[in-house]
Amino acid sequence: MLEFVDKGLKTAVQEVQDYVRLQIAVARGIFSRPFYMHDLIEQLDQIGIGSLTVVVLAGFFTGAVLALQTGITLDQFGARPFVGRLVSASMVKELGPVLTGLMLAGRVGSGIAAELGSMVVTDQINALRALGTDPIRKLVVPRVLAGIMMTPVLTIIADSLGILGGWIIAVFQLRVASSLYWTSVTEGLYLQDAWMGLIKPFVLGLAIVTIGCHVGMRTSGGTQGVGRSTTQAVVAASVAVIAVDLFVTQLLIDLLY
Amino acid sequence: MAVNSSEPADIELRHVSLAFDDKVVLKDVSFTLLPGHTKLILGASGSGKSTILKLILGLLKPDDGEVLVHGERVDRMAEPELLKMRGDLGMVFQEGALFDSLTVGENVGFKFYEDTDMPLEDVRQRVEEVLGFVRLDDYVDRRTSELSGGQRRRVAIARAMASKPGILLYDEATTGLDPITAITVDEEIVKLRDLEGVSSIVVTHQLRDAFFVATHGARRGGTQAGGNQIVVAPADAAKADEAEFIMLKEGLVAFEGNAAELRASTDPYIRSFLS
């Protein structure tokens, strides 16, 4: 039993150590040459444009259902006109970043882990190294940069579509005047909220992509191993999104409010 | 084999040992590869053959012993130094390890596209030249998924030789291929050694292929294309003796010598391997 715990602890420590080493190597890769611009542009397209549909749909329907649910509750206090305030504050501060993060964990985290994992098990990563190319610079750095850059952009899109979805429900279902809704939306938002909604996605993007890369690069055990890595990446990145969100929220509340 | 003092070794392993957890993979392995020579490493699956190539490339570090390439200690190098050192090494991986997202031409010219400012026309010319060498010049714009197993290995050889490395490492380059296709891959290995002067380490468990590489030679001759036709034919006895065999058994060197000595060995393990 003790031996089992000892082995488990060692594996966990090793995992954390490797993850930190990857982050350091990525930081070094960002600030020194060679830099693979072509790969960065390709990843910006894959992570950003490729995730647009899922983020747009998730944001829109979340905003709409939020308006629907809160409308009923607000009615009990005669506060239906304030639905816009609730939708905007919830979307910008919390739901936009977290839902976008979860969507990206599923789509991008799994994709990266599967792609890099397949390259590991078919010796393509070793082939890269044998050809004198550093796989961290060539494969990981462009993905991490693209993740950090595109997550905030996608979050803004999700926020906007959520507020739009809320507007449709507010106007056509709850019969709130359109101008009243938009006034409520702007009144409900403070500068600190906008900062919180913008800073969080940077951290979430970094966590999702580095987890995908870390899990992918450690793949072993053939095609079965690739499947295992893909699942692990989605689970770890999803949990990380929620956990990191809590800590970053607490930190930003202390710093901004 | 002792190192000839007038001819510095391309690769040297000195008392190399390696274990993964409790499993000993290599134990006190030593050998030397001289320039322009071929070392054929034989052994059953899991005997540590491919591990030797990974140690030479610096993809793995030994627990004990020294790995030298052109007299430089690979086992002490950091990754940036290793990336430079690998410039003179080419590796053909077991299944080819071609990049699926790229075309055949992009795979072969990968090093030039990524690490040099060579004009694209010159890269294309070099790519076509090496693909011509492995008789796949019509495949330059094909996707790698359209290739057969034998073609994948030949593209892998073309990719490894594109930057004209002095040393080529072949990891089971003919495993899983039919005999006819395997011979075409063996011929490429012989051609590179005899016509381009490339030193090579061939890891295999296919005896037929190992003996083919050891006992054949390539030369330019014939009557076609102005006498520039490449002929691969059985080599003379002196040439055949140059290729050295190493047989690994559970991480230990069980035999070292030429083709004739291997055939004459009375060691029961070697006899069972040869039969």
Q: Sketch the domain layout of chain B as residue ranges.
A: 11-274
**Residue B178 Cα, gap to closest chain A Cα (Å):** 21
Answer yes or no: are the C-beta atoms of A148 and A209 closer than 8 Å. Answer: yes
Per-residue pLDDT, averaged over B119-147, amounts to 90
User: What pLDDT does residue B98 have?
Assistant: 94
**Residue B99 Cα, gap to closest chain A Cα (Å):** 6
Q: Is A5 part of the contact surface with chain B (CB cutoff 8 Å)?
A: no
Per-residue pLDDT, averaged over A136-152, amounts to 96
| Per-residue pLDDT band at B29 (split at 50, 70, 90) | very high
B226, pLDDT greater than 70:
no
- Find the residue in B nearest to A33 (Cα): B115
Mean pLDDT over each residue of chain B, to the nearest integer: 87
At CB < 8 Å, which residues of chain B contact A? 54, 57, 59, 79, 82-84, 86-87, 89-91, 93-95, 97-100, 110-111, 114-115, 159
| Per-residue pLDDT band at B6 (split at 50, 70, 90) | low
Per-residue pLDDT, averaged over B7-30, amounts to 89
Per-residue pLDDT, averaged over B169-185, amounts to 85
A127/B93 touch (CB, cutoff 8 Å), yes or no: yes
Please tell me the distance from the alpha carbon of residue A252 to that of residue A254, in angstroms, as a whole number. Answer: 5
Q: Is A123 part of the contact surface with chain B (CB cutoff 8 Å)?
A: yes
Among A131, A137, A223, the residue to mutate for chain B (most B Cβ within 10 A): A131
User: What pLDDT does residue B2 have?
Assistant: 41
B57: chain A residues, CB-CB within 8 Å: 126, 129-130
Answer yes or no: are the C-beta atoms of B107 and B136 closer than 8 Å. Answer: no
Please tell me the distance from the alpha carbon of residue B36 to that of residue B188, in angstroms, as a whole number. Answer: 15
In terms of Cα–Cα distance, which of B68, B69, B13 is closest to B256? Answer: B13
Answer yes or no: are the C-beta atoms of A221 and A228 closer than 8 Å. Answer: yes
**pTM, two decimal places:** 0.86
User: What pLDDT does residue B1 have?
Assistant: 42
Q: Is A78 part of the contact surface with chain B (CB cutoff 8 Å)?
A: no
B111/A122 touch (CB, cutoff 8 Å), yes or no: no
**Residue A103 Cα, gap to closest chain B Cα (Å):** 25
**Residue A121 Cα, gap to closest chain B Cα (Å):** 9
B99: chain A residues, CB-CB within 8 Å: 124, 127
User: What pLDDT does residue B7 have?
Assistant: 65
B86/A131 touch (CB, cutoff 8 Å), yes or no: yes
A130/B86 touch (CB, cutoff 8 Å), yes or no: yes
A78, pLDDT greater than 90:
no
A127/B54 touch (CB, cutoff 8 Å), yes or no: no
A131: chain B residues, CB-CB within 8 Å: 86, 110-111, 114, 159
A247, pLDDT greater than 70:
yes
Please tell me the distance from the alpha carbon of residue A251 to that of residue A253, in angstroms, as a whole number. Answer: 6
Name every residue whose Cβ is closer than 8 Å to that of residue B238 and which is 6 or more positions away in sequence.
Answer: none
Please tell me the distance from the alpha carbon of residue B265 to that of residue B270, in angstroms, as a whole number. Answer: 7
Q: Count of A–B CB contacts within 8 Å?
A: 54
* CB-closest option in B83, B94, B95 to A132: B83
B4, pLDDT greater than 50:
no
**Residue A2 Cα, gap to closest chain B Cα (Å):** 19
Interval B68-123: pLDDT, tens: 999 999 999 998 889 888 888 999 998 889 999 899 999 999 999 887 888 999 99
Cis previous bond, A152, omega within 30 = no
CATH topology of domain B11-274: Rossmann fold (3.40.50)
| Per-residue pLDDT band at B224 (split at 50, 70, 90) | low
Which of A96-100, A167-171, A188-192 shows the lowest mean pLDDT across its residues? A188-192
B22: chain A residues, CB-CB within 8 Å: none
B224, B225, B226, B232 alpha-carbon torsion, rounded to 10°: -60
B83: chain A residues, CB-CB within 8 Å: 129, 132-134
The 8-class DSSP code of residue B3 comes to P
Mean pLDDT over each residue of chain A, to the nearest integer: 93
Interval B193-223: pLDDT, tens: 888 889 999 999 888 899 999 999 888 876 5
- Find the residue in B nearest to A120 (Cα): B97
B158, pLDDT greater than 60:
yes
- Find the residue in B nearest to A39 (Cα): B114
Interval B40-71: pLDDT, tens: 999 888 888 889 999 999 999 999 999 999 99
Look-up: residue for tokens 């992570």? A47
* CB-closest option in B82, B87, B97 to A122: B97
Residue % of chain B over a pLDDT of 70: 95
The complex scores an ipTM of 0.83
Interval B244-257: pLDDT, tens: 999 998 888 988 99
A134/B95 touch (CB, cutoff 8 Å), yes or no: no
C-alpha distances out from residue A187 to A166, A180, A182, A184, A227, Å: 15, 10, 9, 5, 47
User: What pLDDT does residue B3 have?
Assistant: 44
Look-up: residue for tokens 């059985």? B234
Interval A94-130: pLDDT, tens: 999 999 999 999 999 999 999 999 999 999 999 999 9
Which of A41-50, A213-222, B1-10, B169-178 shows the lowest mean pLDDT across its residues? B1-10
